[in-house]
Amino acid sequence: MINNQAGINEKHSERIHHGLDILPSLKYGIPGGLGNKRWTGELLLATYLQASTGQPPSNGLEYRIGDSGGGFDVLSWRKPGDMPRLATEEVDLGIPLNNRAVGAKLSIPFPFYGGGMSFGSISLNFMIARARAAEKLGTYMSTGEGGYPEQLVPYKDHIITQVATGMFGVREETMQYAPILEFKYAQGAKPGLGGHLLADKVTSEVARMRESSMFTSLYSPFPFHSVYSVEDHKKHVDWIKTVNPRALVSVKVSTPTDVDMVAIGSYYAGANIIHIDGGYGGTGAAPEIAKKNIAMPIEYAIPKVHRYLVSEGVRDEIVLMASGGIRTADDIAKAIALGADGCVVATAEAVAVGCTHCGNCERGRGCQVGITRG
């Protein structure tokens, strides 16, 4: 029986790897049911191909934009005119993550790191894969709010510990591991609503990690019930700096009309990174009404925050990271052109390992490729 199971696993692993390699060749065309307006079938296949080869497609697959009809998908690059093309080695993609005079001087070799995806909403295998990749690339990934599995400890120098409203799995120990601590105030896909881990996903492991009961829905409340002002927020930042004085502090917020005010508040509270998460970001489960309708898309929030921080004279002291619908390298470049320092990506990482953006992550049966938990 065990041999059969091993054989079955081997068969399907081999088949899916073969499929992910061959589908982008377009030998069988673009599957009709694959993709949607934001992640088109072409974009998904192009991402599979880039994940397999490390190169952009050369067969005409669209790998830069989707078909949403707005935002990054309608922004294009101005022709450089007489500007000479630079040699690749002359281009520095690195960005610092701390622009303040004090604190650790961390930087990343390219302008993006991995966003929060919690243990419980994603599988341990995917979590470890992300951590390994972050280590190899010299960048970071965030735990999300679900605890810090011990298998991640070997990669702790590349792992951002997220402290979110439910405080699930947040312990002093895991906060002290982290080079960067991330406060999650809100998430772009469900702004103002907190989180909800469906009961089906709260297995014994997840319950242990989150110090809760098995197969009981877990809610991350909204907001932090100890934070109702910038002063409260400052106390929070002070607390976290007391627990881990080495760590940089990132503050993740979504994109309301006053996102610029929120950003400046975070600056004065002592944050090193303000991370804005736009409305079209990813999630393991969220009400459809929230994803589409609450808070502005990241394309509009970036310039708003950037200009305000400039006008307040503090732009050079805080790092502005953008997420929530960053799908491609082109999106990252456009986000930076609009005013961000860099981006935080998560869904693209899931697509790189076979996600089809089908949106069935929340179902009891879980993810067909084992990225999210079922």
The footprint of another protein on residues 308-347 (CB under 8 A) is: 324-325, 338, 347
Residues in contact with 37: Cβ distance below 8 Å, sequence separation at least 6, in sequence order: 66, 67, 68, 69
Residues in contact with 288: Cβ distance below 8 Å, sequence separation at least 6, in sequence order: none
Find the binding residues for another protein in span 219-278 (CB under 8 A): 219, 221-224, 227-229, 232-233, 253-254, 256-257, 262
Going residue by residue from 114 to 133, which x/- string records binding to another protein, judged by CB under 8 A? --------------------
108 vs 301, which CB is nearer to another protein? 301
Smallest distance, Å, CB 32 to another protein? 3
Smallest distance, Å, CB 310 to another protein? 14
Find the binding residues for another protein in span 133-192 (CB under 8 A): 185-186, 189, 191-192
Examine residue 32 and tell whether it contacts another protein (CB under 8 A). Answer: yes
Q: Candidates 46, 170, 193, 320: give the one binding another protein (CB under 8 A).
A: 193
* Dist. CA 140–CA 115, nearest whole Å: 9
CA atoms within 13 A on the CB side of 49: 21
- The neighbour count for residue 196, using CB atoms within 10 Å, is 17
User: Which range binds another protein by CB under 8 A, 10-18, 131-139, 208-216, 238-246?
Assistant: 10-18
User: Which range binds another protein by CB under 8 A, 98-106, 135-143, 153-161, 366-374?
Assistant: 366-374
- Kindly report the three-state secondary structure assignment for every residue of 33-102: CCECCCCEHHHHHHHHHHHHHCCCCCCCCCCCCCCCCCHHHHCCCCCCCCCCCCCHHHCCCCEECCCCCC
User: Which range binds another protein by CB under 8 A, 49-57, 84-92, 170-178, 281-289?
Assistant: 281-289
- Give Cα 291 distance to the centre of its chain: 16
Q: Candidates 247, 284, 322, 345: give the one binding another protein (CB under 8 A).
A: 284
Q: Candidates 42, 73, 145, 341: give the one binding another protein (CB under 8 A).
A: 73
Q: What is the DSSP string of 162-231?
A: EEETT-TT--HHHHHH-SEEEEE---TTSTTT-EEE-GGG--HHHHHHHTS-TT--EEE-SS-TT-SSHH
Smallest distance, Å, CB 183 to another protein? 11
17 vs 136, which CB is nearer to another protein? 17
